Each structure stands twice: as C-alpha cells, then as structure tokens.
Structure 1
Amino acid sequence: MLPALLFLLLAGVGGCAPGARALDSRELAFEGQNYRVVHINLKREQLSLHWRESASGQPFGSIEALRQWGEARGQHLLFAANAGIYDHKFAPLGLHVENGKTVVPLNLAHGNPASGNFSLLPNGVFAVYPDGHAAVRTSAAFKADGKSAQWATQSGPMLLIDGKLNEQFVDDSASMKWRSGVCARTPTEVVFAVSETPVNFHAFGRLFRDKLGCRDALYLDGSISQLYVDGEGYAGAPAFMVKPYAGIFAVFARP
C-alpha cells in the first residue's frame, strides 16, 4: 500500500512544470468588494513585460497567446496581467520598456481628462530596474530620476502618491468599472490587484492604501483587465469584456 501511495505522490510531483512554484495569490474582501491580489517576490520570481513576438513582430494580444508562446519554448506561465493603457491602434500610449529597450518613449503630453484615464493626471510609471528593484513613480518623477529601466509601463492615473489618494478621485463617483493596478510595496515585493466587480477609483485606491499597505500605486486599466494565475485561471473582468492587450506582464517558471 505504501509503495503505491509513494508512487502516486512522486507521479504528481513529476507532473508539475519544471521549476514551477505556487505564487502568493489570494482573494481579499475589502469594504464589501472582492479582489484578486498577487504578490510577486522579485528575489525569487522574474517579472517581464511583453507586447510583440520578436521574430514575427506580431502583438501577442492575449494572455492565452503569450502562454502558448511560452509553452512552445519550454517556458511555463505562472502569472500574467495586462499592462498600461494603449491607443486605438493597440500600441502603448506611454512608456514601454522591454528587457532594457525603450520601445515607446515616455509620454508627458497633457491631454483632456475627458478623453481617457491616461489624461487624468498625474499618470505614472511602474518600472523594474536592472538591479532587480521595482518602483511606482509619477511620470514627472520618473523622468527626473533619469534611471534606465529593465521593464516599464506607463499608465494612469496614479492611485496613490506618497500614501495619499489621488486628489482627482471622488468618494461617491458613479464611474464603476473592473479595475487593475500595481504597487511596489517594497523594492522587491510587487503587488498586482484586480477587482472582481466594478468599483470606482476612490475605492480601488483605498484598497492599495488601507488593505495592501502601499504608498505609491498605479492604475493599469479598467473594464478589460484580468489577472491569470497558473492553477487558478483568470480573475477580473468577464471574458466577453476583454479586448486585445498591448502589453502583458508575465512570470514564467524558472528552468
């Protein structure tokens, strides 16, 4: 009996993807709303950003396409999330840095807030630097820092700035959407969150401030936002709301 049980246990271990490990993913209830929250330990997991397949130049467009691309190369996808806001041509609207290369430059144009969330200032940048540390900064502060990023996306608006909610947010706003965001709670701990139901900016910012313990947090996108976690599937917006993404954050299992 024991040898048979041992065989089954070993078979289960052998069936896991090489190098795969469970990420810190959990569902949190906060102020009557449910959220999916994923913590990425940059000392252990390698976070990357993807827009287009290098050989063909074609955008991945979806988390599933990125997952299949990884599998074809022996890379098992553990986590994915859509990145920053993009334009009508499905190109990043602001800074997009992949593996140290600036694909789209920083966008400091002051648009009309009525034209979209990116123009609801201040917007910001989430960056992972060559030394493995991450940070969320306003776009102006990122430019002033003058530090080259290894991976970066620009989106907006900022949810939190130095522990304070964006002053543009209204507590009882009727603008309710599925929303996703990110913060660097410490230089090596990145936190992604997506709402499981529509929420307004004020409520979403409070999640990062009061529940997740962040000081600077960036809104990524709304209505189409999803997180993918290996073994758990998708969380966030329902599938029929999702449209092609311009950038996708990913964690692949280390070999």
Structure 2
Amino acid sequence: MTPRLGLAALGLAAACTWPLAGQAQVCEDVDHEGLSYTVCEVDPATDDLRLFLTDENGGLYGSFQEIDRQAEGRALTFAMNAGMYHPDRRPVGQYLEEGEEVMRLVTNAGPGNFGMLPNGVFCIGEGTARAIETLAYEAEAPECRYATQSGPMLVIDGELHPRFLPDSTSRHVRNGVGTTEEGDRAVFVIANQPVTFYEFGSFFRDRLDLPQALYFDGNVSRLHAPGLNRSDFGFAMGPIVGVLSPVDADRPGG
C-alpha cells in the first residue's frame, strides 16, 4: 500500500479566508474517476471533534444551524450527518456521548444498509478517531468519548466490502468517513452526485488510501462547510458529527 497522503499532499487547500481560532479542518472538492466528492479532513488530536444528538435541555438538535446557534462563543466549522436513525431520530445502533451509552451495540444482520454486515462504529477517543468493524469493536471495547454505529463498512483493512459490485446500478448521494488504523486522521466525504457503493468505497481506498471507512447514509447526506460557503438543510437529522472552534475575535465581524 502506498504512503497515506493528507489533503495538502493531494494538492488541496483550505478555502476559508478568515479561519476561526484553532480551526484545522480542510474542505475541498475532489474529482476521481469522473465523479466529484467534497472531502473534509479533521485532526482528532487538535480539533474538537464530537457527536451531537440532544442539547443540554434534552431536545434534539436536528440541524447544523441549531448546533451553531447554541454553541456560545464557538462556531460549528465542519459537520455532517453521522449514522442512521429511527423516525423519531434516535440512533439505530451504538451511540455514545461523553462516554455515556444512549443506544446499545447491534451485532446481528438486519434489513437495509445498516444491517448489511459487516457494518461498523465510528469511535472518537482522546485525540483519535477510528472507523472500526462492529465485531472488532465489540471484542476490543475501545474507550470512546463519542461513538456512532452505521453501515455498511466501505473499506475493511484495505479491502472493499465483499458485497459491493462494480456493475451495480444503485446510485445515491452518499456520505461517510475514512480513518487510518492509528486514528490520527479522519477524512469525511460526501458525493456531489449519486454514486454506487463500489464507487464510493473505491474513492476512500484508491484516492485517499485509507484502510478503514464507514458509510453514514445515502437517503440523508448533508454537509456543513462554512469555508466552502456550504450548509445543507432539509428534514431534521438524527446523529451529527462536527467540529466546534472558538470564534476568532480578530476576524471581520468577530
């Protein structure tokens, strides 16, 4: 496998002219095999990466704008939907916030994309972020500050999910996350047009060279990237992953 390259090595640069204090995420549009993707890289060691579901009053956030509104001296500098949820927007599988379990781990096969095993868990630890196949997650029992279960896995130990077909005709606007084994890089991707699972997984494996990648959704796929002047909206969401950064008082309007 070739050395793993950060976005800077791929010729990508931050698009935000006035970054917020502590902001290290880089978001950029990337073309691969005739398809367009928006890629956002987060540094788990320095960025305040976390999951959002309910606010301090127990209400569901549901949108990027509501998280930003309640941030109090900070701003949401990156976010995307982060896992499948029931009609009431509660997580389908494992979900942790600040180490507290909100929903249990689901290990059995089931209907839909979530149950297309192997699926996985996105685990945010102390300075790390990892996409981990569900049974490996259960066996390892890693210490996660935040965790969200989704599925299917897109890339497992450098290999595409075994059920992905090169000639598939099922296309959706999909989003997900890829990580290194060590958890020192987390790269979030959303397709800018409908793509197959095979195409989407191949982007993580072949272009980003990431050995682990987890699918978030394809019915609800949204991105909040202020540096690209983009903040998608629509029906209320369940789990959301994002980065909070202190507002830079020296920037215009700060």
- TM-score for both structures, normalised by structure 1: 0.85
Residue in structure 2 matched with residue 116 of structure 1 by the alignment: 112
Aligned match of 2:133 in 128, 138, 141?
138
Residue in structure 1 matched with residue 251 of structure 2 by the alignment: none
Residue in structure 1 matched with residue 32 of structure 2 by the alignment: 30
Alpha-carbon shift at residue 16 of structure 1 (Å): 5.5
CA contact (8 A) 2:24 2:47 kept: no
Pick closer, same or farther for the CA change 1:78–1:163 going to 2, 3 Å. Answer: same
Larger Rg: 1
In structure 1, distance between residues paired with 2:87 and 2:24: 36
Residue in structure 2 matched with residue 69 of structure 1 by the alignment: 70
CA contact (8 A) 1:50 1:248 kept: yes
Residue in structure 1 matched with residue 215 of structure 2 by the alignment: 219
Q: Could you say what secondary structure the match of 1:120 adopts?
A: coil
**CA deviation vs aligned residue, 1:94-143 (integer Å, no higher than 9, x gap):** 111111111111112321xxx311011111001011x3222111111100
Asked whether 1:163 is paired with 2:162, we answer no
In structure 2, distance between residues paired with 1:24 and 1:18: 12
Q: How big is the alpha-carbon RMSD for the aligned residues of Structure 1 and Structure 2? A: 1.9
In structure 2, distance between residues paired with 1:98 and 1:199: 31
Q: Structure 2 stretches of 5 or more lacking a match? A: 1-16, 248-254
Aligned match of 2:51 in 38, 41, 49?
49
**Identity, % of aligned pairs?**
34
Residue in structure 1 matched with residue 87 of structure 2 by the alignment: 88
CA contact (8 A) 1:20 1:78 kept: no
List aligned pairs for 1:92-241, cutoff 5 A. 92-111=91-110, 115-129=111-125, 131-185=126-180, 186-234=182-230, 239=233
Q: Structure 1 stretches of 5 or more lacking a match? A: 1-14
CA contact (8 A) 2:27 2:227 kept: no
Pick closer, same or farther for the CA change 1:154–1:251 going to 2, 3 Å. Answer: same
- TM-score for both structures, normalised by structure 2: 0.85
Alpha-carbon shift at residue 86 of structure 1 (Å): 0.8
Q: Could you say what secondary structure the match of 1:191 adopts?
A: strand
In structure 2, distance between residues paired with 1:75 and 1:196: 28
Q: Could you say what secondary structure the match of 1:64 adopts?
A: helix
Q: Could you say what secondary structure the match of 2:68 adopts?
A: helix
Aligned match of 1:249 in 222, 241, 244?
241
When the two structures are aligned, how many residues end up with a matched partner?
230
Pick closer, same or farther for the CA change 1:109–1:233 going to 2, 3 Å. Answer: farther
